[in-house]
Amino acid sequence: MPTNVAVIRFPGTNCEFDVVEVVQQLGAQAQIVFHDEPSLGSADAVVIAGGFAHGDYLRPGAIARFSPVMEAVASFAKSGGPVVGICNGFQVLTEAHLLPGALQKNAGLKFRCGFTDLRVESSNSVLTSAVTPGDVLSIPINHFEGNYTCSAETLAELQGEDRILFRYVSNPNGSVDDIAGICNDGRNVVGLMPHPERACHELLGSSDGVALMQSLLNAAGLN
């Protein structure tokens, strides 16, 4: 059976085809799974793509987390399956309590859109196994609510357990401890604000995202 990635789409998701494109480019299959599906089918990995699920009304991710598909995502995550939330997907994962903390409005109220340098802090996760701590990746961001916030206890936990996967070299949004991406304690659920799927070809300005997407596919059983 070919490796199969379920790409979740809510009303308002807009990055799902970018993810599908990269997954196929790397030799795996991708299927888009709509928010009202109760099952993920035969998925080996899940990506919650970016966008503005349910218009970001109330709070980003607040409505999406109650979608039928999120129960399937939660049980897939609980069984150890690799799950990555990108941008709005990260917001959905925090609202669904699959990752700790919350994403607040950017400091300075600026919508941030452009390439940013990310420093890899840990290679111990489903999204970072093919990169090395200290690597600096050029990956675009595109968000208004990417200011990662959590309690002091949660921050100490993330730091102590090596669960901060990426830090911004130059903090664009006010995130605590320059955090750009984290994982859960099982290291199989990852959330990040930057968009690796938009940095997977030189024609797009950077191919630094390939190693991250390749890590995910390796975790899903490709190769």
Partner 1 sequence: MIFDVVVEVRLRAGIADPQGATIERALPALGFDGVAGVSVGKSIRFSLQAADETAAHAAVTDLCHRFLTNPVIEDSEISLHPAEVAAN
Catalytic positions, written as ranges: 87, 195, 197
Contacts of 117 (CB under 8 A, 6+ apart): 136, 137, 138, 168, 169, 170
1 is a contact residue toward partner 1 (CB under 8 A): no
171 is a contact residue toward partner 1 (CB under 8 A): no
Rounded distance, CA 70 to CA 77, Å? 10
- Residue 16 tokens read as 């799902």
What single-letter amino acid sits at 190? V
112 is a contact residue toward partner 1 (CB under 8 A): no
CA terminus-to-terminus distance, the chain:
12
Q: By CB under 8 A, which span of 21-29, 59-67, 179-187, 214-222 interacts with partner 1?
A: 59-67
CA distances from 207 to 134, 200, 212, 213 (A): 17, 4, 10, 11
Nearer to partner 1, 19 or 102 (CB): 102
Nearer to partner 1, 107 or 136 (CB): 107
Nearer to partner 1, 107 or 113 (CB): 107
62 is a contact residue toward partner 1 (CB under 8 A): yes
Rounded distance, CA 12 to CA 49, Å? 10
How many residues interact with partner 1 (rule CB under 8 A)?
Answer: 20
Binding partner 1 by CB under 8 A: which of 102, 182, 193, 222? 102
Nearer to partner 1, 31 or 171 (CB): 171
Binding partner 1 by CB under 8 A: which of 17, 32, 71, 105? 105
Q: Residue 200: which of 139, 142, 143, 141 has the closest Cα?
A: 139
Which residues are near partner 1 by CB under 8 A? 58-59, 62, 66, 94-95, 100-102, 104-109, 147, 149-151, 174
